Amino acid sequence: MRCDLHVHTTHSGYCTVPVAKTFCKECYNQPLQVYRKLKSMGMKLVTITDHDSIGSMEELGQFDDYFTSVEVSIELPSGTEAHVSVYDLNERQHLETQRRRNDVAALLAYLNEQQLLFGVNHIFSGLTGRRELADFDWFERHFPLWETRNGAMIPSANQAAAALAASLGKGVTGGSDSHAMASLGSVWTEVAGATTRTEFLDGLRAGRGKVHGVTGDGLRVTKDVFSIAMSLLREQPWTLPLMPFLLGLPVVAVVNFLHEARFASVWSQRLSEGRELAPVAAVA
């Protein structure tokens, strides 16, 4: 049984790019469109991991092969940000995780109390900003699942995550991290022998998940950004004068690739040199 465990829709809200964040969404894909595309790609289960939102549940909750998930933006004690996927939760649990997302100890205690399945995403990417050594201590001590193949991340970032997860015996997840229709289902997680949602999630919890699909590259990300820009233009025609700026996207993609490669290299090297775990707060 397979499922793309990192997918976005229009419910992910607005992008974080300066200026553009006032009018451009992270994703323009509608939930039902996403569901149908993923099913056509061979996904036996469908879930959506929008940023801090479970809005897709209203439209997709009718399907037996859908389960509600969310990508929570959390603040770590170092002041840095990380993205954490929480799987198969209900509306009340979502509200409670949102209340605790800036207090990681309280959030983790709640997730464990509710026996929710969760994992940290793209830890070797600079997508969420800077990283501190203490962050990796939190990931190692308290996060049972690590995303080791993300369809929007460069190969070295995914490889570093996979190598560290394997050395620590972490369960793994994979997903397309798609913000455009074309890349949906390009990465997925499979649990062999699972025939139901419960068996699939239990398999992930037991560390039996396997990741498959393509890793990210600059061309794919550039295509997705172009796709988002075209969707923006259709929804808000007044943005047409801004479209010439898209000509600079290849340059931006190269700069981003170099930044991501350096980020992954620096942190994989620091961690491979060996370290003592910094003391962190106990979590129930």
122-149 pLDDT per residue, tens: 999 999 999 999 999 999 999 999 999 9
Calpha distance 189→204 (Å, rounded): 9
Q: Give the pairing type, strands 66-75 and 46-48.
A: parallel
Q: 32 to each of 9, 100, 284, how far by Cα in Å?
A: 9, 30, 38
With a CB cutoff of 8 Å and minimum separation 6, the contacts of 274 are: none
pTM here is: 0.92
Domain positions in the chain are 2-272
Which stretch of DSSP H or E encloses residue 167?
helix 155-168
One pLDDT digit (tens) per residue for the chain, 284 residues: 999 999 999 999 998 877 777 888 999 999 999 999 999 999 999 999 999 999 999 999 999 999 999 999 999 999 999 999 999 999 999 999 999 999 999 999 999 999 999 999 999 999 999 999 999 999 999 999 999 999 999 999 999 999 999 999 999 999 999 999 999 999 999 999 999 999 999 999 999 999 999 988 777 878 888 888 888 889 999 988 988 887 777 787 788 889 999 999 999 999 987 654 444 444 44
Strand order in the sheet with 46-48: 46-48, 66-75, 81-87, 117-120, 145-150, 171-175
Calpha distance 76→57 (Å, rounded): 28
Which stretch of DSSP H or E encloses residue 99?
helix 91-100
Task: Please state the CATH superfamily assignment of the domain spanning residues 2-272 in this structure.
Answer: Metal-dependent hydrolases (3.20.20.140)
